[in-house]
Structure 1
Amino acid sequence: MQDKEVQGMITITESAAAQVKKMKEEEEDPNLKLRVSVKGGGCSGLSYGLGFDTEAEGNDHKLEQNGLDVLVNSEDADVLQGVVIDYKQNMMGGGFTIDNPNAIANCGCGSSFKAATRTGTPEDC
């Protein structure tokens, strides 16, 4: 079931959803849910986390995107509002990209950012 307040919080493109489903199949656990998180670290202070979890925690928002069950901790919701997660393939391979309208600065590596409402702990890249 999807929380009202998380409708539109995160958009996972069809390409990203297909890649996550492929990774989920390799794990051979149909109960896995995609967890999207934010943690301290990276060049700009905050880093994204994408991983699998089997159960929601008490403070998680739950949503469904392109056939995926997605979990977001309520503490991360404000800096993830409006995020678009995509998967792009090129000659060098493929990878997830995250477009965050709340980011006021991004690291050149693309996995670290700074938000106006939350500071992190920058590390050397």
Structure 2
Amino acid sequence: MSTDASDGEAAGPPVNVTAKAAAEALSLLEGEGMDTDVSGLRLFVQQGGCAGLSYGMRFDDEPEEDDRVTEQHGLRIFIDPSSLNYIGGAELDYESGLQAAGFHVENPNVESECGCGESFRT
């Protein structure tokens, strides 16, 4: 498992996480009774959606052996190597509004997105 310092290495973290997204994820992790010193948010890419690929997120108790692990704003983020190829350099944010609230990935690698913004193509 490769690890980045919380400030990032010279190349920077694989994904930038905003303070708002980290605070929301940490609150959810703690609500699940998970140890935030070991557990983290897994960010991944999977086949699916009308554009071909979609984002996935879940909480994991610990990283897998080949995960890229970074910590930002106290939140540990786990990314598997194949997902990193699609989302390296992306930003994870949390948006809340009158119509919807949730995590949002701003990905500079995306060539096109479907109309609903739930899937993408690189």
| Residue deviations 1:67-100 (CA, integer Å, cap 9, x gap) | 1111100111121111011111111241111110
Q: For 1:26 and 1:82, how far apart are their aligned partners in 2?
A: 29
Q: How many residues align?
A: 115
Alignment match of 2:70 (pick from 63, 67, 70): 63
1:91 corresponds to 2:91:
no
Aligned to 1:110: 117
Percent identity among equivalent residues? 35
Distance 1:52 1:5 in 2: 27
Is the aligned partner of 1:9 residue 2:27? Answer: no
Tell me how far 1:20 sits from its aligned partner: 0.4
Which one of the candidate residues 38, 43, 55 is aligned to 1:48? 55
What is the Cα deviation at residue 6 of structure 1? 6.8
Structure 2: segments with no counterpart, 5+ residues: none
CA RMSD of aligned residues (A): 1.7
TM-score normalised by the chain length of structure 1: 0.84
> In 2, are the aligned partners of 1:86 and 1:98 still within 8 Å (CA)?
yes
Unaligned runs of 5+ in 1: 116-125
The aligned counterpart of 1:100 is 107
